[in-house]
Structure 1
Amino acid sequence: MLQVLIPWPQEVRIMGKPTSSDLRERIVRGVASGQSYRAMAARFEVAPSTAVRIQQRYRATGVVAPARQGRPTGSGKLGAHRRVIIDKVKAQPDITMPDLAAWLEGQHGVTVDLCPICQNCPSELPSACSMSWAPHRFRFAETIANC
Structure 2
Amino acid sequence: MTYDIEKPDEQWRAELTPAEYQVLRRAATERPFTGEYTDTKAKGVYACRACGAELFTSAEKFDSRCGWPSFYDPKDSDAVELAEDRSYGTVQTEVRCARCGSHLGHVFEGEGFATPTDQRYCINSISLSLTPDES
Same fold at TM > 0.5: no
- Give 1 or 2: higher helix fraction: 1
Q: TM-score, normalised by structure 1?
A: 0.22
Q: TM-score, normalised by structure 2?
A: 0.23
Higher relative contact order (CA 8 A, sep 6+): 2
Who wins on radius of gyration, i.e. which is larger? 1
